[in-house]
Amino acid sequence: MNDRNPGKKRRDDGKGDDDGPAARPVAARRERYLLAGPQRFLTQLETDPATTLHRVIPPVDGFPAVAVAEMEADRAAMLGATGAVHVEPDLLLQYARPGTGAGTRFADPGVLPTGDPAPIGFLVLGSDGRPLPGAEVYLMSETFPLRGVTGDDGVTVIDTPAGALPALNGVYVKPRHDYWAVWLGRPDLATDAPNLVTCPSFAETFPGFPQRPLDGWARRALRFDALPPTFRGDGVRIAVIDSGSCVTHPDLAGRITAGIPDRDADDWRVDVVGHGSHTAGIIGGKDDDYGIVGVVPEAELHSCKIFPDGRFSDLIEALDYCLARRIDVVNLSLSGTQPSPLLARKIEQARQSGIACVCAAGNSGGPVGFPASMPTVLAVAAIGKVGEYPPESYHATQVYGVPTVDGYFSTSFTCHGPEIDVCAPGVAIVSAVPPANYAAWDGTSFAAPYVTGLAALLLAHHPEFRDRFTGRDSSRVDRLFDLIRGSCRPLAFGDRNRSGAGLPDAVAALGLLPPRCWPSCGR
């Protein structure tokens, strides 16, 4: 008997004893819902013993009050059936970047080979010989993923089920920052010694980086490098609704004007994930001859923090912030698994107020996620380019189909469908991550910010938005999206659903030159 206190007999009736709290039977959890209707009715939910009311979002310009509450599913169905309120699930949102092992489909993880597990050790070093602490090591197969994280010595040990080694598809090693992730397909792993994995450093690929600023492939692909140096997005307000922003990062210091929530250590100035900082760096990173530079380094940036654990209700409140602050462009590098009528109505309210929403398509490799699936937003798919990352890096696994003659390819992870408006670089995108470092990540999360930056450039510098489309209304948003789509270079992927109108051209979109006569478009 393995009892932490052999002197006492543990009770098995669930009532507990002096060793600790009583066991609690597993019960179905309450789900979270959005209830829209009269505010007076919603506030009464606070006295309902069958409901846990978290908060009530006030009404805004005809948009109803929305209660965020937990209750049993049958209770929610009953309230919806009364017709007094609209009821829908308050679902979790996801980052629009690939999960680990994108494209790998797992079988039942409970079906594992029997026998004693084998400890498999790994030593993860940078190409400069330094141990890489905090590197994630994944053993990938069709049956299970296994994960380990390296310590300060760059070492981790993963207990691997018996007989599993021959079934491994590969080893995926993801450094925390400043080094390329590595993919080792069909690995021959040692069980009696650490397996050495070497990750190339950014400094090796980009000599002098970050002391010498990086002009990444994405900027060249969209022709931002060909714009006049005075085109910097000044006067335009952009909101990044994400995981916050690390305001102490060299490329973000002094660049974020305001945000939500604004409270203590949990506010928008802290980014424990890195996703929001990476996105903000792409859009508006500081131009100071160091690190990376954003598309619009003089635009006004706002950081609306809803991740981790962001839900539809949090996004509705963030959009209310954008309405109140007269934001011009919102970057939504996120997606939900199903549509929300209330959120769709809020996004349309933003459009009617002149706010353009640029949305990442999602990374499931399937249909376009929500809200990118809405016809009134600009949905962005992700592409990559051969030769813009080390051949042994994980980025090389993201190629879908046959690359074009100039090396562009659709990605295995990008969501696709007729809702896609445009595509943009989303593979091996180097940008800022906390505390003062850089990471190369893949995802439609990092394609959308380039289009957000282009939208800001158009609002700041295209003559039509100084002469004709000066009001804050839906016509301004629609014209903005038309200009972006109209500037695009079609890409020969053989499937327009993966690229939409194609890859935007910043020079053409701004009216500085007519769109190029791309061979495939007949212009």
Block mean pLDDT (10 aa), the chain, length 523:
42 55 74 94 90 94 95 92 94 78 44 69 96 96 86 96 82 96 92 94 95 95 96 98 97 96 86 97 97 98 96 97 98 95 98 98 96 98 97 94 96 97 98 97 97 98 94 97 97 95 97 62 38
- For CA atoms 226, 228, 231, 232, the dihedral sign is positive
In CATH, what is the architecture of 118-204? Sandwich (2.60)
Contacts of 409 (CB under 8 A, 6+ apart): 383, 384, 385, 386, 399, 400, 401, 402, 403, 493
> What is the reported pLDDT for 38?
92
> What is the reported pLDDT for 109?
45
Residue type, 343: L
In CATH, what is the architecture of 217-509? 3-Layer(aba) Sandwich (3.40)
Is the pTM for the entire model greater than 0.85?
yes
CA triple 262-96-33, angle to 5 deg: 65
Catalytic residues: 242, 275, 445
- For CA atoms 359, 363, 369, 370, the dihedral sign is negative
**Distance of alpha carbon 58 from alpha carbon 151, whole angstroms:** 47
**Cβ-count burial 506-519 (b if 16+ within 10 Å, e if not):** bbbbbebeeeeebe
- Residues paired with 330 in a beta bridge: 239, 357
> What is the reported pLDDT for 165?
81
**Distance of alpha carbon 104 from alpha carbon 110, whole angstroms:** 17
Q: Any alpha helices (H) in 167-216, and if so which ranges?
A: 202-205
> What is the reported pLDDT for 178?
97
**Distance of alpha carbon 484 from alpha carbon 402, whole angstroms:** 26
CA 442 to chain centroid, in Å, comes to 9
Bridge-based pairing of strands 399-400 and 408-411 is: antiparallel
Alpha-carbon dihedral of residues 191, 194, 200, 203, nearest 10 degrees? 170
> What is the reported pLDDT for 514?
62
> What is the reported pLDDT for 15?
54
> What is the reported pLDDT for 255?
97
